[in-house]
A and B are shown apart, each in its own frame.
Chain A
Amino acid sequence: MAAVDLAQKLKARFGALLSGPAEFRGETTLQVAEAEQIARVCAYAKKELGFDYLVDLTSVDNYGQEPRWTVVYELCGLAHGCHLRLKTEVSEESSELPTVTGVWRTAEWHERESYDMMGIRFRGHPDLRRILMWEGYPFFPLRKDFPLAGKSSEMPDIAFTDPAPLEGGPFVTIAGGSDAVAREPRARAPETDALETNARLERRKDIREAHGRSYRPGPIEPRQ
């Protein structure tokens, strides 16, 4: 049975809660409309459809858009070998969704990592602590509004907290850029806001279109 058929079965069970399946490069993706239901959908997929192996769990920061977080589950069934992706969106205000550790225990560390890197909380997780950063670190480094160079924090005795020498460097893309030109590091002053750059690009859209995709708008502003 192909992944699409299994996705259709899942859809038949949950109806309007799921949208899709979307196909891209031979992969099947289902969107779960309510993040609150994700554990229920996952439990059904595991129990009835044989997705016994959670390959990966990750989160994406859609900075500048609402809802801000996308949580992505890569499912695999060892018996039938099909791969299915489930996605669900979580708003920035709540930043919380139910855990799937009750379904697959491998989610324990994956969810801790998502919490550590982006600050998404998984309700019901047995041990939701930071995993890669140290206990007490105040920021969520994989958020798009966290600069590549890092931020100094108020814990001088605990760990190295100075910003890295790369701060303000030339090869730093910005958060929330709509396309590669907006994110492109050399087309803007470092560490300016992407939304600002987007607005600037919008004003110059006609010029940009006349010159094609590669046109670099505006002079590079001096660094602070």
Chain B
Amino acid sequence: MATIAELEVGEPAARAAQAAVVASSDLPDLPAEKMVLNMGPSHPSTHGVLRILLELDGEIITKAAPDIGYLHRGDEKIAENMTYTQFIPYTDRLDYLAPLANNVAYALAVEKLMGLDQQLPPRCQFIRVICCELARISAHLLGLGAFAMDVGALTVFMHTFTEREKIYNLCEALTGARFTTSYTRIGGLSRDLPPGWAGQCRKFCREVVVNFDESEKLLTRNRIFVDRTRDVGVISKELAIDYGLSGPNLRGSGVEHDLRKAAPYLVYDQLQFDVPVGSVGDCYDRYLVRMEEMRQSVRLLHQCLDRLPGGADNPSREPVNVPDAKTVLPPKDKVLTSMEELIHQFMLVTQGVNAPSGEVYFGAENPKGELGFYINSKGGGTPHRLKIRAPSFVNLSILPVLLPGHLISDVVSILGSIDFVMGECDR
């Protein structure tokens, strides 16, 4: 049985002096037993069901092994067993903080396979950009709020949620659902903008920038926030590229790579916006990049609303779907009165779109990073293989090299700054 020794605790100054003597001497560190700490899968800062096995030497992490898969639903298997259109609702549940952006990315991937992506009507493209940018603001607001909450600033979370509530109201008016939007269709959209929606969206854009300013006042120069994030979790440029990071995590490390600029899709090449990049690659830089990205998103939203073909309420009836009866469902009144439309409706619902055989990869710049779909088709209405390149999955793979050397309390900062969603990571 071990004996209990009395601990001598001196004055702080004496302790510091003693520690300095010990540090400067050649005495080896006493061998201590390392402890394994299990963080998650249900820990508030793991934002869902991430589990990390941490090996600790005192309070310092020596090894980190993320364990994922707690939310695995087999989306890729499911996709092989249904038509392309039927899979759209499943994309809502990937990054469930930005369902609209997922819908757009998936629709564009299938349209690329079918060769339709150049034929999309301009109004559809502008509306899709609006969707993507609204989703980006919504996802970043949550990421920011949760990040701030993890490092102790509870107010920001409540504050950003006020604005997210407005985005959800806009989603509801636009799609009929607040979370599970399923807004896009192969070759277009499920519906045009409802009357008055563009005005509401403009109002939101004016209001949300005030919120950005206020959130920034709460955080950017906040001593506690800066101390907990600056020089914590530094990812070098080379490491970020080597680990395939994307989105704000890659740009936070100073790599100027944004698919909206690098491989422009929709009408992004016609719009003006800047791509913010970090300089150090720490948690603070990633925070600053997200903050600026939201402002750029508002800028994009204003441009899209200004230039929307057909105007806000579309009196000239600009189309939002490709003029291809074999891809897009016909209007309901035609289905009930005309034979040809009835046949098209029947064929589309029972067999899906008739995609050619071949393979494509399409990546879109989503809030979390590059959301890519690799589709391998053997023809017909179902994919032979659909792989989802989930940005959160790839971004998390850096944890085993990023966490060691940090304190346990830094883990929450780092996880918050990486801003992942397990629904997308585990698929």
Question: Are B112 and A148 in contact, with the CB atoms below 8 A?
Answer: no
| Interface residue stretch chosen among B180-188, B277-285, B382-390 | B382-390
What is the CB-to-nearest-CB distance from A87 to chain B, in angstroms, rounded to a whole number? 9
A156 to B129, CA, bound (A): 48
Question: Are A106 and B242 in contact, with the CB atoms below 8 A?
Answer: yes
A186 to B351, CA, bound (A): 10
Question: Are B77 and A148 in contact, with the CB atoms below 8 A?
Answer: yes
Count contacts on A: residues with CB < 8 A to the other chain. 49
Is B360's CB within 8 Å of the partner chain A?
yes
Is A173's CB within 8 Å of the partner chain B?
yes
Is B257's CB within 8 Å of the partner chain A?
yes
Is A29's CB within 8 Å of the partner chain B?
yes
Question: Are B244 and A104 in contact, with the CB atoms below 8 A?
Answer: yes
Mask: chain A, 135-175; 1 = CB below 8 Å from B; 0 = not: 00000011010101000000000000000000000011100
Instruction: Determine the chain B residues whose CB is within 8 A of the CB of A179 once the complex forms.
Output: 378-380
Q: Which residue of A lies closest to B115 (CB)?
A: A25
| Interface residue stretch chosen among A37-45, A54-62, A90-98 | A54-62
Q: Which residue of A lies closest to B381 (CB)?
A: A180
Question: Are B374 and A58 in contact, with the CB atoms below 8 A?
Answer: yes
What is the CB-to-nearest-CB distance from B78 to chain A, in angstroms, rounded to a whole number? 7
A58 to B376, CA, bound (A): 11
Instruction: Determine the chain B residues whose CB is within 8 A of the CB of A29 once the complex forms.
Output: 359
What is the CB-to-nearest-CB distance from B233 to chain A, in angstroms, rounded to a whole number? 17
A78 to B251, CA, bound (A): 12
Question: Are A173 and B81 in contact, with the CB atoms below 8 A?
Answer: yes
Instruction: Determine the chain A residues whose CB is within 8 A of the CB of B76 once the complex forms.
Output: 117, 142
A172 to B427, CA, bound (A): 19
Is B358's CB within 8 Å of the partner chain A?
yes
Question: Are B351 and A214 in contact, with the CB atoms below 8 A?
Answer: yes
Question: Are B370 and A55 in contact, with the CB atoms below 8 A?
Answer: yes
What is the CB-to-nearest-CB distance from B29 to chain A, in angstroms, rounded to a whole number? 28
Contact of A109 among B80, B387, B397 (CB under 8 A): B397
Q: Known contacts A56-B387, A133-B69: does B347 contact A214 (CB below 8 Å)? A: yes
A110 to B244, CA, bound (A): 11
Is B372's CB within 8 Å of the partner chain A?
yes
Question: Are B347 and A55 in contact, with the CB atoms below 8 A?
Answer: no
CB within 8 Å of A: which B363-414 residues: 363, 370, 372, 374, 376, 378-382, 384-385, 387, 389, 393-394, 396-397
Instruction: Determine the chain A residues whose CB is within 8 A of the CB of B393 once the complex forms.
Output: 109, 113
Question: Are B380 and A105 in contact, with the CB atoms below 8 A?
Answer: no
Is A85's CB within 8 Å of the partner chain B?
yes
What is the CB-to-nearest-CB distance from B105 to chain A, in angstroms, rounded to a whole number? 14
Question: Are B241 and A52 in contact, with the CB atoms below 8 A?
Answer: yes
Instruction: Determine the chain B residues whose CB is within 8 A of the CB of A171 once the complex forms.
Output: 81-82
Instruction: Determine the chain A residues whose CB is within 8 A of the CB of B427 once the complex forms.
Output: 132
Is B74's CB within 8 Å of the partner chain A?
yes
Question: Are A109 and B358 in contact, with the CB atoms below 8 A?
Answer: no
A216 to B82, CA, bound (A): 17
Question: Are B69 and A81 in contact, with the CB atoms below 8 A?
Answer: no
What is the CB-to-nearest-CB distance from B120 to chain A, in angstroms, rounded to a whole number? 15
What is the CB-to-nearest-CB distance from B244 to chain A, in angstroms, rounded to a whole number? 3
Mask: chain A, 172-209; 1 = CB below 8 Å from B; 0 = not: 11000111110111100000000000000000000000
A125 to B91, CA, bound (A): 31
Contact of B394 among A60, A109, A141, A214 (CB under 8 A): A109
Instruction: Determine the chain B residues whose CB is within 8 A of the CB of A104 once the complex forms.
Output: 242, 244
Mask: chain A, 107-122; 1 = CB below 8 Å from B; 0 = not: 0111001000100000
Q: Which residue of B lies closest to A105 (CB)?
A: B242
Is A74's CB within 8 Å of the partner chain B?
yes
Q: Known contacts A60-B385, A180-B382: does B394 contact A106 (CB below 8 Å)? A: yes
Is B4's CB within 8 Å of the partner chain A?
no
Q: Which residue of A lies closest to B255 (CB)?
A: A78
A180 to B81, CA, bound (A): 11
Instruction: Determine the chain A residues whose CB is within 8 A of the CB of B74 once the complex forms.
Output: 141-142
Is A53's CB within 8 Å of the partner chain B?
yes
Contact of A25 among B244, B360, B387, B397 (CB under 8 A): B360
Is A131's CB within 8 Å of the partner chain B?
yes
Q: Known contacts A78-B241, A106-B397, A132-B426: does B72 contact A172 (CB below 8 Å)? A: no
CB within 8 Å of B: which A16-32 residues: 24-25, 27, 29
Q: Which 4 A-B pairs have the closest CB atoms?
A: A180-B380, A106-B244, A132-B69, A58-B387
Question: What are 14 of the A-B contact pairs (CB < 8 Å)?
Answer: A55-B370, A56-B361, A60-B384, A74-B374, A81-B263, A105-B242, A106-B244, A131-B69, A132-B72, A141-B74, A172-B81, A179-B379, A179-B380, A180-B380
Beyond contacts A58-B387, A142-B76: 15 other A-B pairs, Cβ-Cβ < 8 A, are A24-B358, A54-B244, A56-B374, A60-B385, A72-B374, A74-B389, A81-B262, A83-B361, A109-B394, A131-B68, A131-B69, A179-B380, A184-B380, A185-B81, A186-B350
Residues of B within 8 A of A (CB): 68-69, 72, 74, 76-78, 80-82, 112-113, 115, 241-244, 255, 257, 262-263, 347, 350-352, 354, 358-361, 363, 370, 372, 374, 376, 378-382, 384-385, 387, 389, 393-394, 396-397, 426-427
